[in-house]
Amino acid sequence: MEVIVRASADAVADYVHDRIVEQLRGVPSSVLGLPTGGTPVPVYARLVESYRTGVISFKQATTFNLDEYIGLGSEHPASYAAYMRHHLFDHVDCPARRRHIPDGLASDVDAEAAAYDRAIANAGGMGLLLLGLGENAHIGFNEPGSDFASRTRPVDLAASTMAANARYFTDGTRPPTRALSMGIGTILEARSIIVMATGPRKAEAVRRMVREAPTNEVPGSALQLSRDVTVVLDHAASSKLERHLRPPCQQQQAPQ
């Protein structure tokens, strides 16, 4: 696990954007795992600009999103399908048939989850997966207590997760209590993983993810078991690590 610290959230977004550009230029048919939430928004904005200026194309790429709320259809404004269209897919050339997001309205959520894992496998597995990190150290919607071998499945959301996501439900409705999420086992099969976290509210989750021994009470700590993980932080998110990092806090190997 490599930890890279940048001066600001914008600098974190620049780094992650550059990694994805490098991936797509090197392997145009890459299979990408993509997150939602506030942290990756500036990354998607930069990718859209790079597409518009001819730096990259998504035409041969395949994407798999981490999760979707159970009970929300793709046209619901708070669905992750709508989020992805707004921030990325409506602005780049990734074909609809190559874009995958769990179906929140599936009549059989267990069958939908199993089919999603099969689709990832049939695509050859994820070459590069981008993750955010929750304040309780969740990855995807894998809340504390998630089995490290878990596959894509329906999950119950923690109260803290629903509270953090309430701002996306502008009509005053409460967020759904369940979601379909890639499991930790599914996540760990990605050949390369980037985790991005910014802001002081993520600092404790970052510390636990990087410094504590892997435990399912800290879902992000499972990433210590991956062969290729880069954690990209701004100074605020790294504040509980920085005493261990060499100036100018650019990078260091975290303990396995």
Q: Report helix, strand or coil for 110.
A: helix
SS3 sequence of 64-101: EECEEECCCCCCCCCCHHHHHHHHCHHHCCCCHHHEEC
Q: In this structure, are residues 117 and 185 in contact, taking their beta carbons and an 8 Å threshold?
A: no
Q: How far is CA 196 from CA 58, 67, 119, 130, in A?
A: 22, 17, 25, 8
Tell me, rounded to whole angstroms, the distance of Cα 48 from its chain centroid: 18
Residues 6+ apart with CB under 8 A from 149: 183, 184, 185
Cα–Cα distance, 217 to 171 (Å, whole number)? 33
State how far the Cα of 215 lies from the Cα of 224, in Å rounded to an integer: 10
H-state helical runs in 60-197? 80-87, 109-122, 159-165, 184-188
> What tokens appear for 86 in the block?
């707004």
d(CA 4, CA 196): 10
Displacement of CA 74 from its chain's centroid (Å): 19
Tokens of 118: 């099969």
Annotated active-site positions, please? 67, 136, 138, 143
